[in-house]
Amino acid sequence: MTQQVPFPALMVQGTTSDAGKSTIVAALCRLLKRRGVMVAPFKPQNMALNSAVTSDGGEIGRAQALQALACGIAPHTDMNPVLLKPSSNTGAQVIIHGKVRAEMDARDYQQYKTIAMGAVLESYARLRQQYDAVVVEGAGSPAEVNLRARDIANMGFAEAVDCPVILVADIDRGGVFAHIIGTLACLSDSERARILGFVINRFRGDVSLLTPGIEWLEQQTGKPVLAVLPYLQGLFLDAEDAVEAMQAERGAFKVVVPQLPRISNHTDVDALRAHPDIDLQFVQQGQPIPPADLVILPGSKNTRGDLAWLQQQGWPAYLAKHLRYGGKVLGICGGFQMLGQSVRDPLGVEGAAGESTALGLLDMVTELTSEKRLEQVSGYCAFSGAADAPVAGYEIHMGLSHGAALAQPAFVIDGRPEGAMSGDGQILGSYLHGMFDTPAACSALLRWAGLDSGHTVDTAALREASLERIADAAIPLLAALDHIKR
């Protein structure tokens, strides 16, 4: 088995955020799985608003759930022991081992990192005992010298467990050699020494034109460029945060999604952006809101704050006109809560305690609670014309909704009514994330919205095909790591 594993633990760090760390970890995990290696992903600390529910009933970043899929194993909270979900520009919900620990501002969290590191090392030790190999993903960049004290996400972790590192740089951004040289300049001698080499990611064109730069880099640093990986288009992989990658212009059926400041789990609409008959558009602050057949209000990490943003951006008037002309509105999780009469936060769960007037489109009120519901669920569609289509997904929310609107549910989940449908059938709301990922439910929801299409989207198959593509592209990287090991 040892010959099949170049390193029992390997960390992938990046010169910048979004350099491709998550994708490269997933690719290496899939390549090791192909060899028959028992491998697991690990990210000590993740800051992301897209999360997943694990097999042990906790919450981790979606990227780690995708990487677990690449390994052929169920996602577990040990794969991402510290998850930060920003609720404001300076504060975040701190999740340890899958459960909410506290709401902290950035300064308080810096002090808390010593405790968080204990949780990180516990989880890592368990994974190392259970698996032949662990592929670790860093966060942001190790060059963030202002965060070096008590670092648990990058070199602080690598030094603590004596883990070798590969450094990834995104050439598509430009300045790739400066990114690498500059990152090395910000590291200590011991940190530089543990870097095995570099990966140049997202390259387009003739790689021979890059050879002089590679030779110069290797002479300057004394370290090899392990691989130059291509820019792959059309991948269907779960994003940690970036909405920009979600834009799609395909068919005639128009779907509009407000890009909330604290948008959460926008991966809910991945199946729609992949649908050939759908033109899906996120609308950012200040942009004109285009006509649509379906408006989706997505999840939010700060429901009251994002509700105020919707109101400031003119969405209530737009929605009133949209409904008057027969359009459909779907609210998911926080977006569902916004559809009611009010959202109450007596405990200050998402900021200052208080109550906000909501959009008034469903006869219900929501009260935010300190208890978070985390569960993988399944059931069937209960709205008119759905023919009991099966549906599966997950729930991640803090809050309870009640009112007359819930008497007409959207789904039956694990034997209980869930969500709401308006009396005129134009508005649907639910706490269910991932409702479009079940093809039958997706087709039923689109028929309700006004699109009766012969096309279906199998998100599981698309995701699997993408994992195979990135693994194939990363074969030279694993070969280079094998060579270093030998």
What six digits make up the tokens of 79?
Answer: 């794969």
| 354 vs 336: CA distance, rounded Å | 19
CA distance 38 to 40: 7
Tokens 């996400």, residue?
153
**Helices in 408-485 by DSSP H: which ranges?**
439-449, 459-473, 475-485
**361 Cβ contact partners less than 8 Å away, ≥ 6 residues apart:** 319, 323, 329, 339, 340, 422, 427
- Cα–Cα dist 245/461, whole Å: 19
- The DSSP bridge pattern shows strands 99-105 and 299-300 to be unpaired
Active site residue 433: yes
Q: How far apart are CA 225 and CA 197, in angstroms?
A: 6
- With CA atoms as reference, report the closest residue to 333 among 309, 361, 368, 379: 368
CA 233, 236, 239: angle at the middle one, nearest 5? 105
| 455 a catalytic residue | no
Integer Cα distance of 98 and 308 in angstroms: 29
**Catalytically annotated residue among 179, 381, 433, 442:** 433
- 441 near 389, Cβ under 8 Å? yes
Q: Which residues in 193-277 belong to E strands, given as ranges?
A: 195-203, 225-230, 253-258, 263-264
The single residue of 333, 381, 397, 442 carrying the catalytic annotation is: 333
Angle, vertex CA 351, rays to CA 350 and CA 352, nearest 5: 130
Which residues partner with 134 through β-bridges? 9, 40
* Residues carrying an active site annotation: 333, 433
